[in-house]
A and B are shown apart, each in its own frame.
Chain A
Amino acid sequence: MKLMPSALVCRDAVELVNDYLDHTLSRGDRRRLEKHLARCDACHAYLDQMRAIIAAGGTVSPDDLAPETVEGLVQLFRRFHSDS
């Protein structure tokens, strides 16, 4: 007989969300969380917020790399190759 895992409450569910998104939750915890998410709109909203945070973090605005910085390094590169 399979024991029913105890149901999660929201306070505990939110602590599993990060590992869930990184695919590092145990299978048992993943099932418990998915079961909870399926019937809890608020925790689902929390999950969506975390997804949005991670996606926004990975959206990098163009770096303000000064042309002089690049030019300076290219000069170094030229010097290195003319010396070697």
Chain B
Amino acid sequence: MDDTELLARLLGGDEQAFTELVERYHSTLVKIARYYVGSSASAQDVAQETWIAVMRGVEHFEGRSSFKTWLLRICVNRARTLGVKEHRSIPVDTNESGPSVSAHRFDQGGLWSEPPVPFTDAVDARIDRSHLVAEVHGAIRSLGEPQRAVVTLRDVEGLTTQEVAELLTLSEANVRVILHRGRARVRSIVEEAAKGTKP
């Protein structure tokens, strides 16, 4: 059942629809809130407040954005407010530059001197798929901000660049640059780990 159907049932006070939405989005809300507030407990509180706001506001939801964007926006607004109260500020460093791949991997002419090795090799499955998934998620968690927030929202939660920009109050161009750096960093972390497990 998609969100629109669940929402229609929620309007009628359907508890099962509410439960399904909670199961679908609660973890995402906690993860997003965690970028703004100081503790997991605070993030849980923000997620809970978000659901209360949904119960109160669902009748006024006009469907101009998707339910998911509406929900996440409520969450971000509440988390920001709490983050400000907790005197937390998220440093947004969009000036980070530097190449996607370390310069020493190329020769003077700009050609690979140390080329990338495929992650999955049919003959010698150095990293199998589930291992790769775990490596990538670990690498994302190790990113600094705002890369972690952008890569999580975009690649893990599947939001569009425009949605991420709205949620994090960044320009779309900034989101693209941050995503580019974040993914490049994840690739290099996973590649290093793969080298380490080479037989």
Contact status B13-A81, CB under 8 Å: yes
Contact status B22-A24, CB under 8 Å: no
Contact status A15-B99, CB under 8 Å: yes
Question: Interface residues of A, CB < 8 Å — how many?
Answer: 41
Task: Enumerate chain B residues within 8 angstroms of A9, measured Cβ to Cβ.
Answer: 106, 109-111
B94 within 8 A of A: no
Contact status A50-B187, CB under 8 Å: yes
Q: How large is the interface on B (under 10, 10 to 19, 20 to 34, 35 or more residues)?
A: 35 or more
What mask results when residues 23 to 59 of chain B are scored 1 for a CB within 8 Å of chain A, else 0?
1001100000000000000001000100110011000
What mask results when residues 73 to 84 of chain A are scored 1 for a CB within 8 Å of chain B, else 0?
110111011000
> In terms of DSSP, what is the predominant structure of the interface of chain A?
helix
Contact status B118-A74, CB under 8 Å: no
Contact status A57-B111, CB under 8 Å: no
Q: Smallest Cβ distance from A24 to chain B, in angstroms?
A: 7
Task: Enumerate chain B residues within 8 angstroms of A69, measured Cβ to Cβ.
Answer: 26, 44
B18 within 8 A of A: yes
Contact status B119-A49, CB under 8 Å: yes
Task: Enumerate chain A residues within 8 angstroms of B18, measured Cβ to Cβ.
Answer: 73-74, 77
The CA of A17 and the CA of B175, in the complex, are separated in Å by 16
Which residue on B lies nearest to A69, using beta carbons?
A: B26
Supposing A49-B187, A53-B183 touch, asked if A14 and B101 sit within 8 A by C-beta, the answer is yes
Checking B110, B132, B151 against A10 with a beta-carbon cut-off of 8 angstroms, the contacting residue is B110
**B residues within 8 Å of A by Cβ?**
13, 15, 18-19, 22-23, 26-27, 44, 48, 51-52, 55-56, 99-101, 103, 106, 109-112, 115-120, 129, 132-133, 135-137, 140, 151, 155-156, 158, 161, 176, 179-180, 183-184, 186-187, 190-191
7 additional A-B residue pairs with CB within 8 Å, beyond A53-B136, A69-B26:
A18-B183, A22-B161, A53-B186, A53-B187, A54-B183, A56-B129, A56-B136
User: 26 A–B contact pairs at CB < 8 A?
Assistant: A9-B106, A9-B110, A10-B112, A11-B99, A41-B115, A42-B115, A43-B112, A49-B119, A50-B187, A53-B136, A54-B155, A56-B133, A56-B135, A56-B136, A57-B156, A58-B158, A60-B156, A61-B137, A63-B26, A65-B27, A69-B44, A70-B22, A72-B48, A74-B22, A76-B52, A77-B51
